[in-house]
């Protein structure tokens, strides 16, 4: 893998399932029926459904286009080219929480592991009661979940293909009597194929959108949305930065705007455009603490990816799983340990990263900073949240020792490694805020749905309160962290909302 990777040209892409046209008249007004901002899961689904319903659609994506085969998954090159700011983004607070966002055509679907969950029933009923949502129940959502699962080939692993790192969780959980199911993924398997092909947005909804007539432009960043005048169209100010022509500005008119730039990006755009003073004030996420497990045997190898079992014994408020354990990610996770880099260098095949995550009671915010491209992201965990993370780490450690781990390295500075279950008593009852290394890949809820403007930013169908034909179609409309990987829930909710908008 070379350090500098070529960006596919438009000519090169003609044999790809996705051809990527530029604007017809750069720098001039163009009017479209529907403009979709972003190309992650919710945005790509919106583009697909709108185009297949006969609407004239334009998709604008800030990041670049990378075929799946162009960059090794979960590598440092992937972080550099497919993540926002190379993956160096964080929500400030005590403790600070590192988070990552995809910034490429297809968004987070191109960089995540594709684990699929339906929205838990307990979360559905909680949202219904707290936010006054109508026609929002497990039975009503089921058909939308099933449609997404067909579209994206949601599948379990073929028999005999599950990696040992995943079976460690399963076996440890079974020894404790805990529930630990295999989580299906967005992956298509052929006959005698144990690897399968990832079903990301550039393999699924975006090609369908293009086949139905949608235009797709990457390297185009929306910086402002201007209100319609006299019932006319929205005006979008766009910055273009593509390698085949210099950085320029363009203006686009849209009768309908569908905003799918992610919980941070969508909130930032709405706030900078003066369209919602409340957007960004309800940020939720799943904080995650890690234990790096060392085994006597070789258990890690290149191309391992993300194992597929998760412990669900404690409902949707706390769960355990296995993280990306490539050398690059392992080195970052061991940064809190003395001699961590040397340990990774010498023992990497014997090491696997496991995580524990919770649904916190704390909330955060996304705030624009005048003169800066990126916003200020903040999140405050409560004392009870830090206590819950401590309990989660202890439970995870108990499971890993039951599964045969020789040594556990915690992602808390000042805590030495653990060599037996009694060492877990060294974990404080409340994790120390100043020493805990927390991260998340699950950001949600900056534009939550609600029955009234007092309770949320969008109505119960994802339309921005006070504005006609401006929809949000990303994880920002989820009312809170769902307690599971949010890609499945956001696609289910987005399909529900878009179908309603189209009158179906």
Q: Which residues have a catalytic role annotated?
A: 442
- Report cis status (omega within 30 of 0) of the bond before 426: no
Q: Decide: helix, strand or coil at residue 99.
A: strand
Of the candidates 42, 50, 299, which has an alpha carbon nearest to the alpha carbon of residue 162? 299
Q: Decide: helix, strand or coil at residue 409.
A: strand
Four-residue CA torsion sign, 376, 379, 264, 457? negative
DSSP state letters, 202-262:
TTTHHHHHHHTT-EEEESEEEEEEEPPSTT--EEEEEEEEETTEEEEEEEEEEEEEEE-SH
Q: How does strand 364-367 pair with strand 29-37?
A: unpaired
Tokens for 142? 């089921």
What phi and psi values does residue 280 have, to the nearest 5 degrees? 90, -5
Q: How does strand 364-367 pair with strand 443-444?
A: unpaired
CA distances from 23 to 236, 244, 269 (A): 13, 13, 21
CA distances from 74 to 114, 342, 490 (A): 13, 21, 23
């Amino acid at each position: 893998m070379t350090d500098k990777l070529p960006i596919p040209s438009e000519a090169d892409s003609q044999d790809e399932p996705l051809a990527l046209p530029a604007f017809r008249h750069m720098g001039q007004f163009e009017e479209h029926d529907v403009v979709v901002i972003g190309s992650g899961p919710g945005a790509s689904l919106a583009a697909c459904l709108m185009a297949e319903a006969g609407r004239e659609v334009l998709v604008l994506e800030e990041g670049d286009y990378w075929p799946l085969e162009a960059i090794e998954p979960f590598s440092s090159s992937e972080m550099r080219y497919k993540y926002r700011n190379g993956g160096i983004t964080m929500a400030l607070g005590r403790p600070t929480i590192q988070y990552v966002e995809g910034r490429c055509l297809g968004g987070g679907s191109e960089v995540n592991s594709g684990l699929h969950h339906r929205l838990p029933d307990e979360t559905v009923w909680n949202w219904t009661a707290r936010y006054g949502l109508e026609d929002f129940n497990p039975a009503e959502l089921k058909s939308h979940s099933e449609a997404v699962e067909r579209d994206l080939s949601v599948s379990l692993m073929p028999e005999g293909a599950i990696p040992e790192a995943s079976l460690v969780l399963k076996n440890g959980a079974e020894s404790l009597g805990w529930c630990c199911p295999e989580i299906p993924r967005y992956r298509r398997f052929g006959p005698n194929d144990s690897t399968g092909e990832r079903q990301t947005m550039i393999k699924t909804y975006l090609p369908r959108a293009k086949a139905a007539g949608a235009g797709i432009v990457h390297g185009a960043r929306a910086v402002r949305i201007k209100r319609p005048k006299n019932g006319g169209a929205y005006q979008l100010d766009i910055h273009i930065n593509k390698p085949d022509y210099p950085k320029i500005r363009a203006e686009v008119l849209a009768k309908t705007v569908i905003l799918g730039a992610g919980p941070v990006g969508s909130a930032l755009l709405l706030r900078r455009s003066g369209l919602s003073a409340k957007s960004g004030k309800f940020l939720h996420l799943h904080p995650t603490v890690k234990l790096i497990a060392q085994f006597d045997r070789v258990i890690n190898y290149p191309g391992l990816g993300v194992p597929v079992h998760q412990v669900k014994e404690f409902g949707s408020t706390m769960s355990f799983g296995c993280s990306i354990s490539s050398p690059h990610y392992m080195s970052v996770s061991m940064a809190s340990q003395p001699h961590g880099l040397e340990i990774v260098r010498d023992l990497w095949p014997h090491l696997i990263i496991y995580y524990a995550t919770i649904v916190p009671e704390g909330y955060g915010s996304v705030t624009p900073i005048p003169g800066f491209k990126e916003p200020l992201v903040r999140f405050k965990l409560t004392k009870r949240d830090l206590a819950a993370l401590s309990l989660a780490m202890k439970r995870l450690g108990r499971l890993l020792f039951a599964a045969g781990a020789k040594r556990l390295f915690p992602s808390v500075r000042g805590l030495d490694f653990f060599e037996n279950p009694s060492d877990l008593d060294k974990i404080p009852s409340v994790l120390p805020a100043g020493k805990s290394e927390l991260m998340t890949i699950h950001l949600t809820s900056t534009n939550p749905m609600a029955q009234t403007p007092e309770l949320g930013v969008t109505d119960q169908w994802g339309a921005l309160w006070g504005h006609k034909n401006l929809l949000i179609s990303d994880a920002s409309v989820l009312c809170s962290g769902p307690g599971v990987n949010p890609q499945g829930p956001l696609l289910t909710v987005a399909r529900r909302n878009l179908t309603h908008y189209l009158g179906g």
